[in-house]
Structure 1
Amino acid sequence: MEKYVILVLFLLLSICPKGTGQEDPFLRDFLVRWDQSKAYLLAVAEAMPEAHYFQAPFDEGKSFAEQLMHMAVVMDWHAFSKFGGSEAPIRWEDFQVTGKNKAQLIQETAREFDRAKELIKEFDPDKLDETTSYAAFSRTRRQFLLLLADHVTHHRAQLIVYLRLHHIAPPNYINFQ
């Protein structure tokens, strides 16, 4: 009887999926940083009064609201299409500013952070070195995560400039490290 219990346990262990993103040091550390990045971006988004959300600082620029939706759509695309491997096209039409208020824009942005986080938490770390393409570039899935984080940082910095243009002190970065 004891042999059968050991055999069943061995079989169960052999068919169970490998560890998830939470168990991989890179993915675990990335998720901690991702949560901090989300908190900081949402604090920046909250700091801008809604009256300034739909104004672009110059003719060719995006408004504060458009910057948020740009970040959200690229989070969706980088996370699910490039990192996750669905290879779906970017969904610009699902991330429009028109008809949304500040709270809805912030909520959509937070949702995309959370959706990406759930994907990363369940991601098979053995696939981090697989490559996929982006324009003329070939990148590993690990590199797509880093690109995802860089993109958020890049546009969050632009939002901080928008705050400064309105003489609004941005949230202290140190509080979100």
Structure 2
Amino acid sequence: MKNLLVLLVLAFPFFANAQDDVAQTGVEGMFAYASGQVEALAEAIPEDKYDWSPAEGVRSVKDAILHVASANYFFMTKLGFELPEGVDMMSLGKTEKKDDVVKILKESNTFVKEKIPMVTTASLGEKVEMPFGDFNRMSTLLLIMEHTGEHKGQLIAYARANGITPPWSE
């Protein structure tokens, strides 16, 4: 019995610590799911449709995908992470070829997925200043997830308007 008690006392910090990052784990999982669907749409839409837009002044397929990638990097820099080497935020929008656009999207998603677990639970309440208002680190993580979902919906509509069924709906 004494050994069991010692084992439980020693194991408790591991179980307690496992709960500390429940927010980050949840956001990371939901982000991985939604961003995977955005990637699937980016791959499913043919390159000849990448300049398609539903109306003048509205982002094209390509621009919407690059916007998601840029926002991923932007939000993560607001959380204090440095851009990966070789990422130039000012030149992302100049990317033309589908393969390059998809690669940029995937790299930005990987960056987010790698960094979310590095946001500590103790820091989730810290203030994050954005151009459109103040948030905390937790709401910034939720914003990343929501933003990806918003543009997933946009790309679903773009795909369907062009006769393309989202791959997970086939």
Q: Shorter-chain TM-score: which interval?
A: 0.7 to 0.9
Pairing of 1:95-174 with structure 2 (within 5 A): 95-98=92-95, 100-135=96-131, 137-172=133-168
Deviating above 4 A after TM superposition, structure 1's stretches of 4 or more consecutive aligned residues are none
1:65–1:97 CA contact under 8 A, matched in 2 = no
Instruction: Report how many residues are paired.
Output: 149
Deviation at 1:168, TM superposition (A): 1.2
Change beyond 3 A, Cα 1:45–1:135: same
For 2:61 and 2:134, locate their aligned partners in 1 and report how far apart those are by CA, in whole Å.
Answer: 31
Q: Deviations over 1:113-172 (max 9, x none)?
A: 111121112222210110122235221100001111111111111111111111111233
TM superposition score normalised by structure 1: 0.75
**Structure 1 unaligned spans of 5+:** 1-18
2:37 aligned with 1:37 = no
Q: Let me know the Cα RMSD of the aligned residues.
A: 2.3
Change beyond 3 A, Cα 1:161–1:68: same
TM superposition score normalised by structure 2: 0.78
Change beyond 3 A, Cα 1:85–1:168: closer
1:53–1:65 CA contact under 8 A, matched in 2 = yes
For 1:78 and 1:22, locate their aligned partners in 2 and report how far apart those are by CA, in whole Å.
Answer: 25
Q: Specify the code of the residue in structure 2 equivalent to 1:126.
A: A
Q: Deviations over 1:22-66 (max 9, x none)?
A: 961111111111211221111111111111012222111111000
The one of the two structures with greater contact order (alpha-carbon pairs below 8 A, sep at least 6) is 2
Q: Deviations over 1:71-105 (max 9, x none)?
A: 11111001122x2377xxxx65131244x311111
Identical-pair percentage:
23
